[in-house]
Amino acid sequence: MGLLDGKVAVITGASKGIGRVMSGRFAAEGAKVVCSARTAAAVEQAAAEITKSGGRAVAVAADASTEDGARSLMDATVKAFGRIDVLVNNAGDGGPTKPVQDYLTEDWFYTVNSCLTSSYLCIRFAVPHMISGGGGSIINISSVAGRRGLPYRIGYCSAKAGQVGMTFGLAMELGPHNIRVNVVAPGATEGPRIESVIAGQARVRGISTEEVRKAMIERSPLRRFVNADDISSAALFLASDLSRSISGQVIPVNAGDPAA
């Protein structure tokens, strides 16, 4: 028996990083997984790996930050598996690292649309299916940046804070339909993205990447970055019936960072 036996889970941003690891974990726990991202080849590979391991998965290439993309993703999910029980809004670009006076309007809209608008649109088109199916779990992958901020990343911080606020409102709105809405807020997470963030912070602040990395690590009591498995474990818990009475909550996965 798996924690997600019989459930259908849609995971955006599933072609790499946290989303790809999460897709495999969910499938291993019995979920039928819809792996989605903008790049068809990468997301098809993610789904193929699950199928090869004995799980059930399909790939849907879609841009979740557009109405057509989000709608087609949910329609494809219902066509493939008949229902939607879990939605994980993991898609999103980190955006540039720039002082606010240099942060262009196009930077702002790209980052906010990538992280926040995509979550709203996926929820908008998934909720009718969840209601007709008797309920569900929505998990927004936010960030510590949405709770305590990060310098020179105004678009990303705003989008991630927006996910938290949206979660609080939707938990109240959708609770009567037996739909739970929660946030996982990762801290600095091992992988290419955090290395890019470190490089950007070092450039803008005029210090070394080693200094930036050291400051990030020392911010948390566990003195380390988290990894994709850590984030996936929290999301798995929120997707499962183990968390049946948890909604409208932010679950930090940040190695103990007390400020987040």
* Whether 110 is catalytic: no
Q: Say how far apart CA 22 and CA 228 lie, in whole Å.
A: 8
In this structure, which amino acid lies at residue 25? R
Residue 135 CA to its chain's centroid (Å) = 20
Spatial contact of 9 and 239, defined as CB atoms under 8 Å apart: yes
Catalytic residue among 103, 120, 152, 156: 156
Contact between 208 and 202 (Cβ < 8 Å): yes
Contact between 76 and 134 (Cβ < 8 Å): no
Q: How far apart are CA 87 and CA 113, in angstroms?
A: 18
- Residue 164, Cα to own-chain centre: how many angstroms? 12
Partners of 88 in the β-ladder: 11, 139
Report the distance separating Cα 254 and Cα 230, nearest Å.
9
Neighbour count for residue 44 (Cβ, 10 Å): 18
Instruction: State how far the Cα of 153 lies from the Cα of 122, in Å rounded to an integer.
Output: 24
Where are any strands of DSSP class E within the chain?
8-12, 32-37, 56-61, 86-89, 136-141, 179-186, 250-253
Instruction: Classify 107 as helix, strand or coil.
Output: helix
Query: Which active-site residues does the annotation give?
Result: 156
